[in-house]
């Protein structure tokens, strides 16, 4: 790759010629402040916080989207640069609600942090007059506060470029501009999949998850309610970040201890339900292969992906596995088998889940998720919401002892744990499908071909003479590429496709701790696989609690009872074309 040499603040540096001044400065230890910039996604220079001086140019330039040049001389910390950045911040603050103490991003807000970095203790500009806009509370998962939008366009870029959903876009001009659904619609009138990636990248509190912690506190305080909770695999290695622990730390035991101190009556591991999902989904795959069913089969554990398919590719719905996600399977088993085992009226059970994903709130509210006669899952909290509850209770999370899950759903395997990373569902399925189909022990347990941050991965495995070809995609833009290839007839030789809505899989879910960068995703994934190695069982079909559930209640995978409780169906939604046209 061709290189250029330039000078930044008196330091000579040689870098690839196609990078920006911002990236070049990082290589010499200079951190230029940014607000709208997202590496590889959003480099529009809209906020102008990253301006620098370039010798020979009359105007300051935005460093995030200005490429380096041979012999360029850059200055990042001159009086003119500092004054420009400060004035830009003051203009933003003059048009921003000063509600920091009550904002959901208080203490973790990029605008707030920049104001502190630039030592802004007062504004030279009066607050600008603006119309108070109503909150968009139309969805069960995401809330929009257009009054706090600083028009950085990060959310628009993630929604349009990474997820290819395009539910929101720039509306209006000047100080009236905001990023919102097209045509003045509410989010629930769009094709929004409620993945929460917009909330994950918003630098302020303009988009955030609906907070359901008060519902949980009320249930815990009700003596007539038996409140059970499940914790998703991705949460195990992310929640610690909210309490100063290194990224990727396995905090499972401390999560259990915290939940016990919060007052939950029973604390279970969603890894158990992930193992249950593998038993059902793997059996469904083998049945489709043997009986000529619709192939390739799609995974169904990522609710944003399912909603995406219902909107954009309803004709491909028959490819989706009929299995519910681990969250929903767990809820159904809690309201039936567990209720019977404990002699509790399921009407008095409140089923709570701790998830990395805002779309899980939408999934739990789907009308079909009540085969037991009760809602499978009553309340979904994201990682961030659980963190707030732990803080509110005054718990010293990092110093809590490690405690164990309760019976009968306290055992989860390594296969269930890796559900939290892209490729994990596929790898878990292959570990079990191989041994169920061949009756042989896997010669190699780790399917490294489906691991990592590559957007689309593939692998092949021999099952009793039949080569099973699989694909893995994370991020809905990558999923769209596969769907287009499938429609064009290019994937007819593949058997199984895993799709995770969010980049990196659930470890990068929309409800995870902020910030969530590519580097952080990779560290979380490493934590996922490290925990997999340490667990006593690493294959779903070896889980003794799963064996007991089938022996005492379900009978076998794909039995009538398991179909009744653990499987579901999906239906087409308004198409994107119809939504744009305002028709049905």
Q: What does each C-alpha distance from 162 to 60, 321, 480, 482 come to in angstroms? A: 30, 24, 10, 14
Q: Give the integer Cα–Cα distance in Å for 176 and 149.
A: 10
How far apart are the C-alpha atoms of 355 and 368, rounded to whole Å? 20
Task: Please pick, among 198, 506, 539, 540, the residue that the annotation labels catalytic.
Answer: 506
Characterize 308-343 residue by residue with b for buried, 16 or more Cβ atoms within 10 angstroms of its Cβ, and e for exposed. bbbbbbeeebebbbbbbbbbbbbbbbbbbbbbeeee
CB distance 571 to 464 below 8 Å: no
pLDDT at 584 over 70: no
Rg (CA), the chain: 25
Q: What is the pLDDT of residue 578?
A: 67
How does residue 580 score in pLDDT terms, banded at 50, 70 and 90? low
Sequence length of the chain is 584
The residue annotated as part of the active site, out of 324, 360, 361, 457, is 360
467 by DSSP, 3-state: which?
Answer: strand
pLDDT > 70: what percent of the chain? 98
Give whole-number Cα distances, 182 to 46, 143, 223, 241, 468, in Å. Answer: 20, 16, 46, 36, 43
pLDDT value, residue 583:
46
Is 444 buried (19+), middle (13-18) or exposed (0-12) by CB count in 10 A? Answer: exposed
SS3 107: coil
The one catalytic residue in 110, 363, 427, 435 is 363
**pLDDT of 161 over the 90 cut:** yes
Given the residues 63, 321, 353, 383, the one annotated as active site? 321
Active-site residue, selected from the candidate residues 209, 241, 284, 310: 284
- For residue 413, pLDDT beyond 50: yes
For 53-100, the three-class secondary structure string (H helix, E strand, C coil) is EECCCCCCEECCCCECCCCCEEECCCHHHHHHHHHHHHHHHHCCCCCH
- For residues 464-476, give the mean pLDDT: 94
| Catalytic residue status for 323 | no
Cβ-based burial of 522 (10 A; exposed 0-12, middle 13-18, buried ≥19): middle
Annotated catalytic, 301? yes
From the candidates 110, 156, 281, 385, give the one annotated as an active-site residue.
Answer: 281
To the nearest 5 percent, what fractions of the chain are helix, strand and coil? 45, 15, 40
Residue in the structure block whose two tokens are 């039936």: 336
The mean pLDDT value for 87-110 works out to 94
Q: What is the mean pLDDT of the chain?
A: 95
**What is the per-residue pLDDT for 4?**
97
Looking at residue 20, what DSSP letter applies?
Answer: B
Task: Please say if 559 is a catalytic residue.
Answer: no
Confidence of residue 128 (pLDDT cuts 50, 70, 90): confident
The pLDDT tens digits for 162-201 are 999 999 999 888 777 889 998 789 999 999 999 999 999 9
530 in active site: no
Stated pTM of the model: 0.95
Residue 464's alpha-carbon distances to 425, 434, 439, 460, 491, in angstroms, are 21, 8, 9, 13, 22
Q: Is 225 a catalytic residue?
A: no
Q: State residue 466's pLDDT score.
A: 86
DSSP structural state of residue 182? G
Task: Kindly report the number of other CB atoms within 10 A of residue 409's CB atom.
Answer: 27
Task: Scan for tokens 């990636």, then name that residue.
Answer: 197
pLDDT digits (tens, 9 = 90+) for 200-240: 999 999 999 999 999 999 999 999 999 999 999 999 999 99
Q: Is the pLDDT of residue 55 over 50?
A: yes
What pLDDT shows up at residue 534? Answer: 95
Q: List 11's β-bridge partners, or say none.
A: 8
Residues 361-395 pLDDT 10s: 999 999 999 989 999 999 999 999 999 999 999 99
Question: Is 344:337 a contact under the CB 8 Å cutoff?
Answer: no
> Using omega within 30 degrees of 0 as the cis cutoff, is the peptide bond preceding 296 cis?
yes
Residues 283-341 pLDDT 10s: 999 999 999 999 999 999 999 999 999 999 999 999 999 999 999 999 999 999 999 99
Q: How confident is the model at residue 125 (pLDDT cuts 50, 70, 90)?
A: confident
Provide the pLDDT for residue 576: 57
Note the Cα 492 to chain centre separation in Å. Answer: 29
As a three-state string, the secondary structure of 511-575 is CCCCCCCHHHHHHHHHHHHHHHHHCCCCCHHHCHHHHHHHHHHHCCCCCHHHHHHHECCCCCCCC
Please state, in angstroms and as integers, the Cα–Cα distance from residue 335 to each residue in 355, 357, 367, 416, following that order: 19, 22, 16, 21
**352: burial class by Cβ within 10 Å (0-12, 13-18, 19+)?**
buried
pLDDT grade, residue 582 (50/70/90)?
low
Q: CB of 232 within 8 A of CB of 270?
A: yes
- Cβ atoms of 302 and 163 closer than 8 Å: no
Place of tokens 């809209």: 46
How much is the average pLDDT of 245-259? 98
Write down the catalytic residue from 368, 392, 484, 551. Answer: 368
Q: What is the pLDDT of residues 513-554, one digit of tens each?
A: 999 999 999 999 999 999 999 999 999 999 999 999 999 999
One DSSP character per residue, 313-367 reads -GGGGGGB-SBPPHHHHHHHHIIIIIHHHHT--GGGEEEEEEES-THHHHHHH-T
Contacts of 439 (CB under 8 A, 6+ apart): none
At 463 the pLDDT is 85
pLDDT at 345: 98
pLDDT of residue 577: 61
Cβ atoms of 313 and 202 within 8 Å: the answer is no
Active site residue 321: yes
């Amino acid at each position: 790759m061709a290189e250029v040499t330039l000078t930044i603040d008196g330091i000579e540096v040689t870098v690839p010629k196609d990078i920006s001044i911002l990236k070049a400065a990082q290589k010499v230890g200079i951190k230029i402040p940014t607000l709208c910039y997202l590496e590889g996604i959003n480099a529009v220079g809209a906020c102008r916080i990253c301006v620098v001086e370039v010798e020979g140019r009359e105007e300051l330039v935005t460093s995030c989207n200005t490429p380096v040049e041979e012999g360029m001389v850059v200055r990042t910390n001159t009086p003119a640069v500092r004054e420009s950045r400060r004035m830009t911040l003051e203009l933003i603050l003059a048009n921003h609600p000063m509600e920091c103490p009550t904002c959901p991003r208080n203490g973790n807000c990029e605008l707030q942090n920049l104001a502190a970095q630039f030592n802004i203790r007062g504004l030279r500009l009066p607050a600008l007059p603006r119309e108070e806009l109503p909150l968009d509370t139309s969805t069960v998962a995401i809330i929009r506060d257009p009054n706090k939008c600083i028009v950085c366009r990060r959310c628009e870029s993630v929604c349009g470029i990474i997820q290819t959903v395009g539910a929101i876009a720039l509306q209006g001009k000047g100080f009236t501009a905001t990023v919102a659904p097209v045509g003045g619609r509410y989010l629930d009138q769009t094709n929004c999949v409620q993945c929460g990636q917009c909330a994950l990248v918003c630098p302020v509190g303009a988009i955030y998850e609906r907070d359901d912690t008060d519902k949980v506190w009320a249930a815990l305080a009700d003596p007539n309610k038996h409140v059970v909770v499940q914790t998703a695999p991705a949460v195990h290695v992310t929640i610690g970040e909210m309490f100063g622990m290194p990224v990727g730390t396995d905090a499972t035991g401390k999560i259990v201890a915290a939940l016990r101190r919060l007052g939950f009556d029973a604390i279970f591991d969603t890894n158990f339900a992930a193992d249950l999902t593998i038993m059902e989904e793997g059996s469904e795959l083998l049945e489709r292969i043997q009986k000529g069913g619709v192939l390739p089969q799609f995974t169904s554990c990522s609710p944003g992906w399912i909603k995406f398919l219902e909107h954009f590719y309803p004709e491909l719905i028959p490819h989706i596995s009929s299995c519910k996600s681990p969250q929903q399977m767990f809820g159904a088993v809690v309201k039936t088998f567990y209720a019977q085992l404990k002699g509790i009226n399921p009407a008095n059970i409140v089923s709570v889940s701790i998830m990395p994903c805002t779309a899980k709130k939408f999934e739990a509210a789907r009308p079909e998720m009540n085969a037991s006669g009760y809602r499978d899952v009553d309340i979904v909290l994201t990682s961030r919401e659980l963190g707030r509850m732990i803080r509110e209770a005054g718990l010293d999370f990092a110093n809590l002892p490690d405690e164990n899950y309760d019976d009968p759903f306290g055992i989860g395997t390594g296969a269930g744990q890796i559900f939290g990373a892209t490729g994990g569902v596929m790898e878990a399925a292959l570990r079990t499908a191989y041994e169920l189909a061949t009756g042989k022990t896997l010669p190699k347990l780790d399917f490294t071909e489906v691991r990592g941050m590559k957007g689309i991965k593939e692998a092949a495995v021999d099952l009793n003479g039949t080569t099973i070809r699989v694909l893995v995609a994370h991020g809905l833009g990558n999923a769209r590429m596969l769907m287009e290839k499938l429609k064009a007839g290019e994937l007819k030789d593949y058997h199984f496709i895993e799709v995770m809505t969010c980049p990196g899989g659930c470890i990068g879910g929309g409800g995870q701790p902020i910030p969530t960068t590519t580097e952080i995703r990779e560290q979380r994934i490493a934590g996922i696989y490290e925990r997999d190695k340490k667990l006593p069982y690493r294959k779903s079909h070896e889980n003794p609690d799963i064996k007991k559930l089938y022996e005492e209640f379900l009978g076998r995978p794909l039995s009538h009872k398991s179909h009744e409780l653990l499987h579901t169906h999906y239906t087409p939604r308004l198409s994107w074309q119809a939504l744009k046209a305002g028709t049905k």
